[in-house]
Amino acid sequence: MTKPNTEYHVTSLVCQVWPKHAESIQSQIESIENVEVHANDDHGKFLITIEGRSQKFLELKTEAIKTIDGVLTIAPVYHEYLIE
């Protein structure tokens, strides 16, 4: 009997937020499971990664980030998936 393939996805995003609310927004983003802010600047730009077992999972997490008050834009930079 063959074992089903398991997918592993990782994506990176650049997110622009209102700079005066950046600290609060970063905390909200980091409270989302499997989401991490790796870098930010004084102008409200964040570099974010999301890891998960499906593309749908990544989409749901991206949508959750978009709904945070003060998030202006979110743009994908990279997406990779592996079959384990």
The residue extents of the domains of the chain are: 7-83
pLDDT above 90: residue 1: no
Query: Residue 2's pLDDT is what?
Result: 66
CATH of 7-83, one of 3.30.70.920, 1.10.1740.10, 3.50.50.60, 3.30.365.10: 3.30.70.920
Q: How do residues 31-81 score in pLDDT, each as one tens digit?
A: 999 999 999 999 999 999 999 999 999 999 999 999 999 999 999 999 999
Read off the pLDDT band of 5 (50, 70, 90): confident
Mean pLDDT over 6-26 rounds to: 97
> Do residues 76 and 5 lie in contact, with contact meaning Cβ atoms separated by under 8 Å?
no
HEC string of 45-72 equals EEEEEEEECCHHHHHHHHHHHHCCCCEE
Q: Tell me the whole-structure pTM to 2 decimals.
A: 0.89
